[in-house]
């Protein structure tokens, strides 16, 4: 979702070299990959490293090993990485050790929780980067506090919102999604008000007690408002492994397989509220004006709380139920769309990157 608008903008910038799109294969479900690329009108990757799953160490090391040969085979002006996944850090490490400039898009976000693997990836990638593009102004102070020179930092807006605004008109209606799940007519009418749930963080789904607590409160929440849950494969596997499937046996909990980007846009855009532990969904719900409950103890995207629709409720059942009931009764907080979340972040990045590369006297 972050790379799609950026690839289009880089391809359209005459002063930039043609980008080479590398898919590491960290997210490796073939059907979902193909659907996501089609939904976002993305070109087929020029290179697929086909890394697949593994522990953080194994996956990061294998990406590094395979990405190194990509850089050895081409003359590279810079390596652009986005977000905070293992691929981000792995590719940044390889490029930095080869003295190839690293450009990090979505820099400076901090949860200040080093137990999150993504936090480690963010901090280290930012330290390796020559150019850092931020999505919100608070990121600037995070970076300068960590010793990064202000001249490297540029506030450009949010690529996630570029994708959302460009694709919102193509969102799949929730009625169509319900029909595919077996609901139609009067049955579907009972789901006109609903909550969306996503859950995948290891802290929530890998610990049996934490997962059981969340499933118990979810069951209680569904007595207030029906819940539609596109379930991550990792979460589904853990529910089965920990023998917790009985907690989902409720008529107002609809579990779905992983959904495509346009389906998720459709579900979120007409939801009464969204419950999630995803960082990106916190941003998307703020842009959509949909109340969001973050099922974590912290967020690396504070602007979604300060200006947007997000409330960090953690895993406390009382806090979850109190906030959910308040949203159902009052409509919840609506907030406003943050600065530069206007659908043009990719254009700003491409324009600035072209000028920056030229100023570095790099051979384009």
pLDDT digits (tens, 9 = 90+) for 308-340: 999 999 999 999 999 999 999 999 998 999 999
Distance CA 88, CA 205 (A): 23
Q: Does 65 share its domain with 119? A: yes
DSSP string, 220-274: HHTTTS-EEEE--HHHHHHHHHTT-GGGG--TTEEEEPPPPHHHHHHHHHT-SEE
Band of residue 52 on the pLDDT scale cut at 50, 70, 90: confident
> Looking at the domain assignment, is residue 162 inside a domain?
no
Q: Does 242 share its domain with 127? A: no
> Looking at the domain assignment, is residue 44 inside a domain?
yes
Query: 98-115, pLDDT tens digit by residue?
Result: 999 999 999 999 999 999
> Looking at the domain assignment, is residue 364 inside a domain?
no
Query: 221-247, pLDDT tens digit by residue?
Result: 999 999 999 999 989 999 999 999 999
Query: 117-176, pLDDT tens digit by residue?
Result: 999 999 999 999 999 999 999 999 999 999 999 999 999 999 999 999 999 999 999 999
> Looking at the domain assignment, is residue 168 inside a domain?
no
Distance CA 156, CA 14 (A): 20
Cβ(207)–Cβ(239) under 8 Å?
A: no
Task: Please determine, for residue 363, whether its predicted confidence score (pLDDT) is greater than 90.
Answer: no
Query: 255-306, pLDDT tens digit by residue?
Result: 999 999 999 999 999 999 999 999 999 999 999 999 999 999 999 999 999 9
Provide the token pair at 140. 């600037």
Q: Does 9 share its domain with 153? A: yes
Q: Does 198 share its domain with 257? A: yes
8 is catalytic: no
Q: Does 347 share its domain with 307? A: no
Q: Does 219 share its domain with 249? A: yes
Put the strands of the sheet holding 131-134 in their side by side order.
79-82, 102-107, 131-134, 153-155
Q: Does 101 share its domain with 177? A: no
> Looking at the domain assignment, is residue 291 inside a domain?
yes
Q: Does 190 share its domain with 147? A: no
DSSP string, 139-153: HHHHHHHTT--GGGE
- Residue 31 has a pLDDT of 65
Give the residue-averaged pLDDT of 61-81: 96
Q: Give the range of the structural domain holding residue 299, as residue numbers without chain letter.
A: 173-330
**C-alpha 176, offset from chain centre:** 24
Q: Does 134 share its domain with 234? A: no
∠ CA(213), CA(218), CA(220), 5° rounding?
A: 100
Distance CA 305, CA 286 (A): 9
Question: Which residue has 């593994």 as its token pair?
Answer: 54
- Residue 188 has a pLDDT of 76
Distance CA 151, CA 131 (A): 9
Q: How many domains, the chain?
A: 2
Alpha helices (runs of H) in 114-201, residue ranges in sequence order: 117-128, 138-145, 159-167, 174-180, 186-189
Task: Please determine, for residue 364, whether its predicted confidence score (pLDDT) is greater than 60.
Answer: no
Distance CA 208, CA 203 (A): 10
Q: Does 8 share its domain with 45? A: yes
Task: Please determine, for residue 54, whether its predicted confidence score (pLDDT) is greater than 90.
Answer: no
**C-alpha 204, offset from chain centre:** 17
Query: 162-221, pLDDT tens digit by residue?
Result: 999 999 999 999 999 999 998 877 677 778 899 999 999 999 999 999 999 999 999 999
Provide the token pair at 214. 């969340």
DSSP string, 271-307: -SEEEE--HHHHHHHHHHT--EEE-SS--S-THHHHT
Any idea which of 53-57, 74-78, 105-109, 166-170 has the lowest mean pLDDT? 53-57
Distance CA 289, CA 309 (A): 6
Given the residues 27, 41, 154, 200, select the one marked as catalytic.
Answer: 200
> Looking at the domain assignment, is residue 284 inside a domain?
yes
Cβ(104)–Cβ(88) under 8 Å?
A: yes
User: Which one is predicted more confidently, 200 or 32?
Assistant: 200
Contacts of 14 (CB under 8 A, 6+ apart): none
- Residues linked to residue 254 through DSSP beta bridges, in sequence order: 228
> Looking at the domain assignment, is residue 163 inside a domain?
no
**pTM assigned to the model:** 0.95
Task: Please determine, for residue 25, whether its predicted confidence score (pLDDT) is greater than 90.
Answer: no
- Residue 29 has a pLDDT of 66
Cβ(133)–Cβ(160) under 8 Å?
A: no
Cβ(292)–Cβ(282) under 8 Å?
A: yes
Q: Does 187 share its domain with 144? A: no
Cβ(290)–Cβ(274) under 8 Å?
A: yes
Provide the token pair at 192. 């006109």
> What CATH number should be reported for the domain holding residue 105?
3.40.50.2000
Contacts of 198 (CB under 8 A, 6+ apart): 229, 230, 232, 274, 275, 276, 277, 278, 281
């Amino acid at each position: 979702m972050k790379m799609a608008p950026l690839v289009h903008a880089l391809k359209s910038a005459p002063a930039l070299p043609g980008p080479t799109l590398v898919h590491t294969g960290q997210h490796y479900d073939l059907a979902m990959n193909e659907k996501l690329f089609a939904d976002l009108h993305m070109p087929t990757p020029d290179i697929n490293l086909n890394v697949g799953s593994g522990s953080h160490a194994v996956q990061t090391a294998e990406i590094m090993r395979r990405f190194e040969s990509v850089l050895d085979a081409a003359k590279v002006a810079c390596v652009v990485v986005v977000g905070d996944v293992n691929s981000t850090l792995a590719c940044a490490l390889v490029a930095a050790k080869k003295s190839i400039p690293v450009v990090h898009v979505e820099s400076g976000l901090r949860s200040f929780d080093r137990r999150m693997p993504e936090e480690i990836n963010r901090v280290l990638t930012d330290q390796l980067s020559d150019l850092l593009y931020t999505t919100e102004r608070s990121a600037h102070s995070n970076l300068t506090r960590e010793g990064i020179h202000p001249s490297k930092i540029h506030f450009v807006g949010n690529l996630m919102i570029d994708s959302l605004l460009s694709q919102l008109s193509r969102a799949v209606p929730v009625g169509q999604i319900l029909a595919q799940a077996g609901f139609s007519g009067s049955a579907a009418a009972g789901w006109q008000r609903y909550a969306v749930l996503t859950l995948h963080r290891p802290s929530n789904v890998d610990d049996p007690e934490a997962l059981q607590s969340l499933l118990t409160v979810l069951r209680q929440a569904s007595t207030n408002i029906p819940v539609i849950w596109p379930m991550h494969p990792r979460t589904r596997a853990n529910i089965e492994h920990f023998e917790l499937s009985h907690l989902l046996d409720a008529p107002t909990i609809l579990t779905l397989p992983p959904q495509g980007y346009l389906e998720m846009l459709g579900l979120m855009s007409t939801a009464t509220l969204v419950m999630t532990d995803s960082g990106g969904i916190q941003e998307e719900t703020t842009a959509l004006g949909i109340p969001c409950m973050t099922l974590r103890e912290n967020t690396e995207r504070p602007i979604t709380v300060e200006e947007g629709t997000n409330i960090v409720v953690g895993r406390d059942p009382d806090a979850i139920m109190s906030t959910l009931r308040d949203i159902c009764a009052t409509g919840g907080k609506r907030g406003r769309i943050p600065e530069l979340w206007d659908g043009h972040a990719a254009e700003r990045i491409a324009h600035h990157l072209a000028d920056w590369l030229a100023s570095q006297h790099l051979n384009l």
